[in-house]
Structure 1
Amino acid sequence: MAQFYKPQARTAKLQRLTDQQVVGLDHQGRGVVRTAKGVKFVPGALPDERVTITVQGKHDAQLERIQTVSEQRVTPPCAFYEQCGGCDLQHLALAAQRAHKQKVVTEMLAKFAQVEALQWLEPLAGDAWHYRRRARLAVHYDAKRQQFKMGFRAPKSKRITVIDACLVLAESLNKLIAPLQHLLPQLELVKQLGHVELIEFEHQVVVLLRLREWPTASDQNHLEQFSKTYNVAIWCDSEQQLAPLSTSEPLSYHTVGLSIHCSPTNFIQAHRQLSEIMVEQALTWLDIQPSDKVLELYAGSGNFSLPMALAGAQVTAIEGVASMVDQLKANAHRAQVNLAAFCTDLEQSWSSQAWSNEQYTKVLLDPARAGAPHAIQEVATRQPQRIVYVSCAPDTLARDAKVLKESGYQLKQAQVVDMFPQTHHIEVMTLFERE
């Protein structure tokens, strides 16, 4: 048998750089180090520190040692901090986290839109720990080893960091993690379980299981017993249906002036305190008057829409998910408010939409991370007096702010909403007015 020479694969030698100055943080909260071979981004490093790093790619590096420690550095209290990919700013003091987030938004608005806020308000802030009312837990079952893992993904990895508690989760959710880790491997459904969601609603905690098929009768019995023991509702979301395993009281969350009924798959803001405070701020900025016709885009199940209608505005709410539009209409009927709701893809032309021909005095939009590239153009051509734009992505906010600036709008006020303490994720509210 002929043998052919096969050279051994070379392993690139990692470059170690000592005594490097950290000059700032990027938008992901990573330390910025300017080396002779270009800028490197270093998770865990803070401005004004001198560090030793190992270069791991064209722009990435790993923190090895800190020679000079920043005054803003704190000891992360979470036991899983170095293994979990979630709360990546626990090493930075809370006030510094908020200042950094405002700086990121300011710089992106200046760089991509040449826009500067006339006034920055103090960040809206609530609890920094045990604030999160919704979490998605990754799961994996190794049938060969009969090994079950449930937790959060490791940084930049599909590997699961198994946890027994999380410092940012609401306590009502935290106490379910260990019992679920014990129960789920005993069930037949563990082999086809996609992930587990824990959600704290106003009067009910929900465990939502994402499955390919509906649970067997035996699994349902075990789950219903778990439901009674821990006083939670078990919902299953399979390819066939989304439903509770047994009769469940309506799920709801509170907003300004009322409670909103919703499905466990509907979007709700993560921070259990700040969602309602954010709505109050939007109402203040919009200064609702009885004569106002307000257009709300990406309306969800009514978190902003219904309080605006209760305040006296004529509200037209647009949402792209049909089931959420139905929920919004039902919520409006329950609250006895007059509100028009439509299901529309806002990133398509509005020309055929009857609601788009109305004259609106004010607009509120709260899009997903992709922002509103088409919708903002449509809004700008209609020239409402005021626009409140709520964003969870400063880069797409800056892109859309440029459109508003070119259409004669001025950024009057801006405010960071610390919706995600201990992480680099940013929520921000902005108020634009016609010049």
Structure 2
Amino acid sequence: MAQIYRPSAKRPQQQVLRNQPVKALNHQGQGIVASAQGVRFVSGALTGERIDFRSEGKHQGKLLNIQQASADRVIPACKYYDACGGCDLQHLALEKQREHKQQVVVELLAKFADVTAQSWLPPLTADAWRYRRRLRLACHWDRKRQRLTLGLRAAQSKQIVAIDDCLVAQEQLTALLPSLHSTLAKLQKPEQLGHVELIHVDRTIVLLRLTAGASAADKALLEAFAERQHVDIWLHCAEQPPRPLLPQQQLPRYESSQLMLEFQPGDFLQAHAVLSLAMVEQALAWLDPQAGESILELYAGSGNFTLPIALTGAQVTAIEGVPSMVERLHATAQQQQLQVSAVHADLEQDWRHYSWAQQSFDKVLLDPARAGAIHAITEIAQRQPRRVIYVSCAPDTLARDAKHLQAAGYQLKQAQIIDMFPQTHHIECLTWFEREA
């Protein structure tokens, strides 16, 4: 048989570059270095520093040494910081983190949308440590060693960093880690564990993602753990929706403006309880809903914005893509005796197919995921509501969508950073667009 020679693929040369100046941070908090090998993004580097780094791949670099440190550099408080992929800005002073986040949004809006806010409010801030009421943990069962690893993913890796604490998580959650680890390791089939989510609202919840149903023995083990630790346990087995371990467990509730709202573990919930409340109140102040006004809310979730808006007497049409969340929103509105039209719809589809989209709206509030709302924002612009309040967790897609609003005659009247994720590069931003008369 003829053999064909195929040269082995050569790995790109990983060259070490020394004493390189860092000119700025990108929107992911990485240092930007314009080296002789081209632009490289180096995690852990800060503006104004001179560093040694190893070039990795086409655009990345790995920090090796800091020759000249920035005055804004601080010692990370977390012992897992060098390995964990959760927080990535602990090495930058807190006030500088917030300044950087606002600057990122300003620059992206200018670069990609040619949009400038008429005014910026000071950032909404609160606790920068022990703020997370949700903590998602990865699991791995080593069959050979009969050992369970429970922890957080390493940076840009599937490796799990075993932890016994997390400084940005509430202590009600981290206090569970030792006993939770020992309990889960005793399951009959620990290899069926996918991930674990810890949640603290009006009670503490442990949500277990399993690839198959739990056995009677495992349920008994978990029930004993729940009783000892005074927590509720929910199981998310295979493709079934999450269910409480004990049927009599009620849905947990979280606080929104003047209301307590039910949600199902596994549904989206803002991580920072204090700033979630502050964000809702600021958004409502800008939206200024009046009795009788017609308000369209998109990506409504379980009603964090919806129900406070309805309290004002405005007529709210709330659109959400997850059917179970629509059901909970509708049920909570009925419990609170509030008039809300909660509708399930795919906002990326042509709105001409939806009856709710055929009416006119005075104002719109939307809070999309990181992918933004490219189709929805086009549909909104065509309908020309007077005011659009856009809550964003991704400044790049916010800039893209803002360009469409500006083209349709909207001005960015006000903007404000919400430091929802201190110690990380993630950015929450509240924006107010007003249509020119």
Structure 1 length-normalised TM:
0.96
C-alpha distance in 2, partners of 1:226/1:173? 14
TM-superposed deviation, 1:250: 2.6
TM-superposed deviation, 1:6: 11
Assess, with a 3 A threshold, how the Cα gap between structure 1 residues 7 and 405 changes in structure 2: closer, same or farther: closer
Assess, with a 3 A threshold, how the Cα gap between structure 1 residues 216 and 119 changes in structure 2: closer, same or farther: same
Which structure 2 residue ranges, 5 or more long, are not aligned?
A: none
| Structure 2 letter corresponding to 1:230 | Q
- 2:82 corresponding residue in structure 1: 82
- 1:262 corresponding residue in structure 2: 263
Assess, with a 3 A threshold, how the Cα gap between structure 1 residues 185 and 407 changes in structure 2: closer, same or farther: same
- 2:357 corresponding residue in structure 1: 356
Answer yes or no: is 1:180 the counterpart of 2:180: yes
- 1:124 corresponding residue in structure 2: 124
| Structure 2 letter corresponding to 1:29 | G
Answer yes or no: is 1:252 the counterpart of 2:258: no
TM alignment of 1:25-64, pairs within 5 A: 25-64=25-64
C-alpha distance in 1, partners of 2:433/2:8? 61
Answer yes or no: is 1:282 the counterpart of 2:283: yes
| Structure 1 letter corresponding to 2:211 | R
C-alpha distance in 2, partners of 1:367/1:58? 31
Paired residue secondary structure (1:186): coil
Which structure 1 residue ranges, 5 or more long, are not aligned?
A: none
- 2:224 corresponding residue in structure 1: 225
C-alpha distance in 2, partners of 1:272/1:168? 13
TM-superposed deviation, 1:11: 6.8
RMSD of aligned C-alpha atoms?
1.6
C-alpha distance in 2, partners of 1:65/1:222? 48
Q: Deviations over 1:376-413 (max 9, x none)?
A: 11111111111000011111111110110000000000
| Structure 2 letter corresponding to 1:238 | C
Assess, with a 3 A threshold, how the Cα gap between structure 1 residues 338 and 10 changes in structure 2: closer, same or farther: closer
- 2:337 corresponding residue in structure 1: 336
C-alpha distance in 2, partners of 1:60/1:369? 23
TM-superposed deviation, 1:50: 0.9
8 Å CA contact 1:30, 1:44 repeated in 2: yes
TM-superposed deviation, 1:427: 0.7
C-alpha distance in 1, partners of 2:366/2:228? 41
Structure 2 length-normalised TM:
0.96
Q: Deviations over 1:284-308 (max 9, x none)?
A: 0011211311000010110000000
Answer yes or no: is 1:108 the counterpart of 2:111: no
C-alpha distance in 1, partners of 2:205/2:215? 20
Answer yes or no: is 1:206 the counterpart of 2:212: no
Assess, with a 3 A threshold, how the Cα gap between structure 1 residues 230 and 106 changes in structure 2: closer, same or farther: same
C-alpha distance in 1, partners of 2:194/2:117? 43
- 1:167 corresponding residue in structure 2: 167
8 Å CA contact 1:189, 1:211 repeated in 2: no
Give the fraction of aligned pairs with identical amino acids, expressed as a percent.
55
- 1:235 corresponding residue in structure 2: 234
Deviates more, 1:140-149 or 1:86-95: 140-149
Assess, with a 3 A threshold, how the Cα gap between structure 1 residues 319 and 6 changes in structure 2: closer, same or farther: closer
C-alpha distance in 1, partners of 2:107/2:8? 47
TM-superposed deviation, 1:8: 9.3
- 2:137 corresponding residue in structure 1: 137
Answer yes or no: is 1:94 the counterpart of 2:98: no
| Structure 1 letter corresponding to 2:158 | K
TM alignment of 1:5-16, pairs within 5 A: 14-16=14-16
Paired residue secondary structure (1:14): coil
8 Å CA contact 2:242, 2:265 repeated in 1: no
Q: Deviations over 1:324-346 (max 9, x none)?
A: 11100001011111111111111
| Structure 1 letter corresponding to 2:226 | S
Assess, with a 3 A threshold, how the Cα gap between structure 1 residues 15 and 301 changes in structure 2: closer, same or farther: same
Q: Deviations over 1:129-151 (max 9, x none)?
A: 01011121110001122121111
TM-superposed deviation, 1:171: 0.9
TM-superposed deviation, 1:200: 1.1
| Structure 2 letter corresponding to 1:16 | V
Paired residue secondary structure (1:351): helix
Q: Deviations over 1:65-111 (max 9, x none)?
A: 11111111000010000010010000000110011111111111111
8 Å CA contact 1:197, 1:209 repeated in 2: yes
TM alignment of 1:389-400, pairs within 5 A: 389-400=390-401
